[in-house]
Structure 1
Amino acid sequence: MKVEQIYTGCLAEAAYYIESEGEVAIIDPLRETKPYLDRAARNNAHIKYVFETHFHADFVSGHLDLSAKTGASIVFGPTAKPAYPAIVAEDGQEFEIGKIHIKVIHTPGHTMESSCYLLIDETGKETAIFSGDTLFIGDVGRPDLAQHVIADLTEEKLAGHLFDSLRNKIMPLNDDLIVYPNHGSGSACGKNMSKETTDTLGHQKKVNYALNPELTKEQFIKEILTGLTPPPAYFPHNVLLNIKGYESLDEVMDRGSKALSPAAFEAVANETDALMIDVRNSDEFAKGFVPNAINIGLEGQFATWVGTLVPSLKHPILIISEKGKEEEAIIRLARVGYDNCIGFLDGGVEAWANDGRELDTVETISAEEFSKIFTEKPETLALDVRRKNEYLSEHVIGIENLPLENLNANMSQINKNQPTYIHCAGGYRSMIAISILKARGFVNLIDIRGGFAAIKKAEKLPLTDYVCPTSLL
C-alpha cells in the first residue's frame, strides 16, 4: 500500500494518491491531471476512483478531467447533487482499491455533503482518515461558506452539524489514526490551522480546540464562529463550477498559451479590455512594467489574490511573465476558475522595451529613508495594506490601515495629489496595491522596500500594539 500527500503551497492544499495492487484512488485532486497520471504511469497502475470530500470553494477540482482521461469513477458523500455522472455514496459504504478499502464517513458541517474517507489496510486495520475540510491539524472547517451558495444554510446550523459530526463520527475513532486534511496553514477554509499537514487523531484530541470534549454544543458554535473573516469573493463561484462542471483544462491551456508580439498584445488588450497581470516578483516589476499592468507575483499566494481582487472569473486576462513561466501562470489561474486567459506577451517586458514601447516604474525607498521622512513630517500620508488582524497586532503609530482586499472599494478616499507611502509585511502586497492604484490614475505612490519587517528592524519609528484611529478600514 502506498499513500502520498501531494501538497501545493500557494493554495495550502493537499491531494492524496493511494495505491494498492496496481489500483489507485485520488482524493481531492487539483485542476491539472498530470501529477496524478504521471505517478500512476510510473507504477504501471491505473486510477480507479476519484474521491471528493466536498464541493470545494477555494479551488476547482480536477475530478472531471481526471475521470475523462482515465475512466475513473467520481465519488461524493451523501446528499451531494453533482450535475454530471458520479457515485453518491451512502454513509458507511466501502470501496475496494486493490487489497485495501476506503470507507465513507458522512460528516456534514463544513458543507452538508462533506465526508471523510477512512483507510482500511490489507489486514483490516483502520490506519488513516482523509478528513477533507471537516478536520484540519489544529482546526476544523469553517461553517460559513455553504451559506454563500445556499442561503438557508446558516452558519449556526452548519456549526451545529459540525459539532455532531466531530463528536459522533470522528472522535470515537482510534487515536492512532493518521489524519490527512485537505488544507494547511494559509488556507482561507479555516482560521487556526497548523503548519503541520498530518498528525495522529489522538494528538488532535488533546490539542485541537474544536475537539475539546468539555465544550457544549452552544460553546462550540460560539467558539468556531468567532474571528471568521469574510471569505474571498471567488469562493461561491468555485463551488458552482465544482457542482455543475467546467471546461477542460486542455482547452483552457490552448487558449491561454497564445504568444503575442508587443503590437498584437497591445491590440488585444485594447480590443478586449483584458486585465494585464504581470506575474514577476515585485522588485523586477518596480524596475519597469507595461503601463496599467497589475502585479500579482507567482512567488506569493498568486491564485488567492487574483480571486480576491478580480471580481469576474470570466474577465479576459493577458499574462506578462519571465520566459517559461507562462504555463505556470495559466494553470494557477485555472485552479481557481479564471479560465479566460487569452494569451501572453511573447518575450515579456524585455520584448516590449526593445520594440520601443513605454515602460512605467514604481518609486521605492528604504525603511530608513521612510523613517526619516515620517519623523520629520508626521502628517505624511502612509498606508499599511496588511490585513486588519496583522495591523491590530502591531503597527507604526500614525500609519492608517487599508487592507489590500478592501482597496478597490476604498481607493476614492486616497488623495491623488498627495504623495502616499505604502507598505505591507514584506513587499508583495504593497506592490499589488500600488499597481492597482497606478492603473486607476494614481501617480504619487512610493513603495517602502521590505515592508513592516524592514521598518521594525530599522527601530526608528514608534510601534503600537493597540488600535490607532483610522478612517480606511
Structure 2
Amino acid sequence: MFVESVKTPGIAHLSYLIGSDGEACVIDPQLDTQHYLTLAGKHECRITTIIETHRNEDFISGAVALANQTGADIYHGKYADEPIEYARKAGNGDKFEIGKWTLEVIATPGHTKDSICVLAIDNEQDGQPIGVFTGDTLFVSEVGRTDFYPEEMEKMAGQLYDSLQTLANLGDDIIVYPAHGAGSVCGSGMAEREFTTIGIEKRQNPGYQCTSKKAFIERKLKENHYIAPYFSKMEQSNVTGMDTPLPPVACQKLAQDAQSAWQKSAERPGVLIDVRSHAQFRDCHYPGSLNLPGGLLSAYGGWFLDYSTPIALVADSHQQATESSEQLWRMGYQQISGYLTMVPKPDTIEAYHRQHVNAVTADKVDERIRAPRANWQLLDVRKQEEVENNEFDQAKHIYLGYLPEMCHQLDKSRHYTLACGSGKRATVAASYLLAQGFENVDVFIGSMQAWQSYQQGT
C-alpha cells in the first residue's frame, strides 16, 4: 500500500497516486501525466480511477489526458456549476475500492460548490481511516478561498466553515494531503511544510481559531484575493476537458531566421518573455520583453498574456526554457515558438539605455521622498494586504496584476520608481511599463525589506 505525491512547480500544486495490489487512483492530476505513469510502473499498478476534488481555476486538469492514456474512469463532485463533460458524478458517501484501500467521498462545499474531499481507509487495519485528500478545502496553515462566487460569498464562507467542521470530526491523527502548498494563488498563508494532520490544523490553522461560524464568515469576507483573467479560460477548459498532455519537449531553440524577428521589437511576432533572473534582466535585456522568472511566471503571467498571441522565451539554458514553457503549457498558453539564449551587450549609449533598467537604493528613495520633484512618483505594486501592513510614504498603489488595465492612468512623461516587497515584482512592473513606452523608470532594490532595514538604521 502506498501514497505518492507529485509536486508541480510554479503553481505549487500537489497531486497524489494512491494504490495497492495492482490498482491505483490519481487525485487531482496535472498535465504532466508521465509522472503518474512512471510511479504506477514502479509500484506495478494500473491506474483505474481518477478523482478531481473540484474544478480548478489556476491550471488545466490532466484528468482527460491521463484517462485517455490509461482507460481510467474519472469522477468529479456532483454539484459543479456546469456538467463536467468528461467525468462521472461522485457524491457524499460514494466509495471506491482500490486494492486494500477504500476511498470515500466527503462533500465539502465552500471553496467551490462541487468541492469534495477523499477519505483514505486502510482495510488491513480494520477499516481505519488513515488520511484525507482535502483538495482546496484545507491546506497547511490555511483554508480555501471563498471568493469565486461574488454574489454568494457569505453563503460560500458559511459552507466552508461547515466543511471544515466535518473534517475536524474525522480524528486528530488523520493525515492531511492538500492540493496546494506555499506559493499558490489559492491561499496566502500556507506553510512551507506540505504535510500535516487534522489535529495540528485544529490547533494551529487560523481558519480553525475562529470562535464561531459568524466570526469565520466575517474573517473570510475581509480577505482580498485576486482573480487573474486567465482563470475563466481554465474554468471552461476544465468543464469540457482538454487532452493536451505535457509534451516531452515543450520548447525548442528558435531557428536563426526566427531569432532575428523576435529580437527586434518592431518585427516581433508575439510576446517575448525573459525568464532569466531580475538582476540579469535589469543589466541587459531585449527592448520590449517582459521579465517573469521562476514562480512569477505562473503567479502573474495570466495577467499579462492572452491566448491568441505567440510566445517566445529568453532563457539562460535549455533546462530553464523547458521549465518555463511547462509552466505556460499547464496554464493553457501552448503557442510557444521557442527560446533565445543570448542577449547581445549594447554597443552605444542609446542602446544601453534601451536595454538597461536602473536600480536605486533606500537612501536614494528616502532623498526623493524628503525632497520630492513634481514629476517623480513612487509606485507600489504589492498586494493590498501588504500595503495595509506596511505602507511606503507618498507611494501610489497599483497591484502588479492590474497594471495592464490601469497603466493608462499613469503619465509617460513622469519618472516612476517601482517598489514591492523585495524588488522582484517591481522589476516585472518596470519591464511592462518599459514595453508600453514609459522611458523614465527605475527599480527600488530590496523595496520594503530594504526600506525597513534602512529606517531601523537611521
Query: Aligned partners of 2:345 and 2:442: how far apart in 1?
Result: 26
Match of 2:158 among 122, 141, 160: 160
Partner residue, 2:190 = 193
Query: Aligned partners of 2:386 and 2:373: how far apart in 1?
Result: 22
Q: How does 1:129-140 map to 2 (within 5 A)?
A: 129-140=132-143
CA distances 1:181-236 after superposition (whole Å, capped 9, x unpaired): 112333232354333322221232334344458414x4433332222323222222
Please give the secondary structure, in 2, of the residue aligned with 1:76: strand
Match of 1:141 among 135, 144, 153: 144
Residues 246 and 107 (structure 1 numbering): CA distance in 2 closer, same or farther, change over 3 Å? same
Please give the secondary structure, in 2, of the residue aligned with 1:260: coil
- Within the alignment, does 1:436 sit opposite 2:432 as a pair? yes
Partner residue, 1:278 = 274
Q: How does 1:130-279 map to 2 (within 5 A)?
A: 130-145=133-148, 147=149, 154-167=152-165, 169-211=166-208, 214-216=211-213, 218-250=214-246, 257-261=251-255, 263-267=257-261, 273-279=269-275
Query: Aligned partners of 2:207 and 2:360: how far apart in 1?
Result: 45
Query: Aligned partners of 2:103 and 2:163: how far apart in 1?
Result: 18
Judge conservation of contact 1:118–1:128 (CA < 8 Å) in 2: yes
- State the Cα distance separating 1:271 from its structure 2 match: 6.8
Judge conservation of contact 2:346–2:355 (CA < 8 Å) in 1: no
Judge conservation of contact 2:25–2:49 (CA < 8 Å) in 1: yes
Judge conservation of contact 1:382–1:399 (CA < 8 Å) in 2: yes
CA distances 1:137-158 after superposition (whole Å, capped 9, x unpaired): 333222221x37xxxx722332
What stretches of structure 1 of length at least 5 have no aligned partner?
A: 463-473
Q: How does 1:75-154 map to 2 (within 5 A)?
A: 75-80=75-80, 83-121=84-122, 122-123=124-125, 124-145=127-148, 147=149, 154=152
Query: Aligned partners of 1:291 and 1:272: how far apart in 2?
Result: 11
The TM-score, its normalising length taken from structure 2, stands at: 0.88
- State the Cα distance separating 1:23 from its structure 2 match: 2.3
Query: Aligned partners of 1:290 and 1:428: how far apart in 2?
Result: 18
Query: Aligned partners of 1:306 and 1:460: how far apart in 2?
Result: 35
Residues 457 and 205 (structure 1 numbering): CA distance in 2 closer, same or farther, change over 3 Å? closer
Query: Aligned partners of 2:391 and 2:157: how far apart in 1?
Result: 34
Judge conservation of contact 2:369–2:394 (CA < 8 Å) in 1: no
Partner residue, 1:72 = 72
Residues 387 and 213 (structure 1 numbering): CA distance in 2 closer, same or farther, change over 3 Å? closer
Please give the secondary structure, in 1, of the residue aligned with 2:343: helix
- Within the alignment, does 1:427 sit opposite 2:423 as a pair? yes
- State the Cα distance separating 1:57 from its structure 2 match: 0.8
Please give the secondary structure, in 1, of the residue aligned with 2:143: coil
- Within the alignment, does 1:309 sit opposite 2:301 as a pair? no
How many residues are matched?
447
CA distances 1:242-296 after superposition (whole Å, capped 9, x unpaired): 1112251356x76x53432454134367677411111111111112111111111
Judge conservation of contact 1:120–1:127 (CA < 8 Å) in 2: yes
- State the Cα distance separating 1:114 from its structure 2 match: 0.9
The TM-score, its normalising length taken from structure 1, stands at: 0.85
Residues 278 and 162 (structure 1 numbering): CA distance in 2 closer, same or farther, change over 3 Å? same
Match of 1:295 among 275, 291, 294: 291
Partner residue, 1:25 = 25
- Within the alignment, does 1:396 sit opposite 2:414 as a pair? no
CA distances 1:124-181 after superposition (whole Å, capped 9, x unpaired): 1101010111222333222221x37xxxx722332333333333x3233222111111
The one-letter code matched in structure 2 to 1:174 is G
The one-letter code matched in structure 1 to 2:325 is I
- State the Cα distance separating 1:439 from its structure 2 match: 0.7
Query: Aligned partners of 1:399 and 1:409: how far apart in 2?
Result: 19
CA distances 1:77-122 after superposition (whole Å, capped 9, x unpaired): 2234555443322321211222111111122222121110000113
- Within the alignment, does 1:51 sit opposite 2:45 as a pair? no
Residues 420 and 79 (structure 1 numbering): CA distance in 2 closer, same or farther, change over 3 Å? closer
Residues 352 and 106 (structure 1 numbering): CA distance in 2 closer, same or farther, change over 3 Å? farther
Query: Aligned partners of 2:442 and 2:160: how far apart in 1?
Result: 47
